[in-house]
Amino acid sequence: MLISGRGSNLHALIEAARKPSSPFSIVFVVADREAHGCQIAEKAGIPTQIVAYEKRGKKEAEQEIDRMLGERAVEIVCLAGFKRLLSPWFVERWRRRILNIHPSLLPQLRGLATHRRALAEGHRQHGCSVHIVTEKLDAGEILGQEKLSVKKDESPESLEARVLALEHQLYPRVLADYAGSLVCGTGREGGA
Ligand code: GRF
């Protein structure tokens, strides 16, 4: 998994992976900075690595990430709050193997500040999406969504909290379906 911060989706995926019936396991966590999520992973016995983009530059950082994912036989790369855009070469190398969770009902509200924008634009429905990562921001195939109705007098903060609770349901469900559907050939479980 690739993260940058809090790691609540990482936590939800780790918990889901503990179930004996889970078709995926979380095998490795990379952060682009000091991230609380790394502590969550370490507590669960999952190796973590910080790859500092500033020190090496984007290309080298991505090459390092690519190498480490390969070494650990990762099959699916899950992004959760990873605050970097992946370069086209990286996306090409992992084509249809990178998933992201986004806090809106895509294709609506691509990009940042989705909860504030949903309220400002008067959306009655809001939610979250898991999609395949492509070269275009938040534009790849949508694999699953969870919706809620926006309440009257809702704040961006309350909306964020309610959507986040949905994210924690959605990501494990979609990843399980996706990992289960991948034809691995080897019969191995999907390592993310
Ligand atoms: C989530 O809201 C996710 O949708 C967005 O970034 C946030 C990450 O939260 N892409 P966390 O680090 O998983 O708690």
State in Å: Cα 10 to ligand 1 middle: 9
Type of residue found at 59: K
Q: Which residue has the tokens 């195939």?
A: 141
Q: For the whole model, what pTM was predicted?
A: 0.94
Mean pLDDT of 135-147: 97
- What is the model's pLDDT at position 183? 52
Say if ligand 1 is within 6 A of residue 7 CB: yes
CB 7 within 8 A of CB 80: yes
pLDDT class of 191 with cuts at 50, 70, 90: confident
For a mutational test of ligand 1's pocket, the pick from 48, 130, 164, 174, i.e. the residue with the most ligand atoms closer than 8 A to its C-beta, is 164
State in Å: Cα 7 to ligand 1 middle: 7
Residue 148 to residues 102, 113, 138, 169: CA-CA distances in angstroms?
14, 17, 20, 13
Calculate the CA 37 to chain-centre distance.
Answer: 12
State in Å: Cα 80 to ligand 1 middle: 5
The per-residue pLDDT for range 157-179, each reduced to its tens digit, is: 999 999 999 999 999 999 999 99
pLDDT class of 192 with cuts at 50, 70, 90: confident
- Structural domains in the chain, CATH included, are 2-184 (3.40.50.170)
At residue 188, does pLDDT exceed 50? no
Say if ligand 1 is within 6 A of residue 103 CB: yes
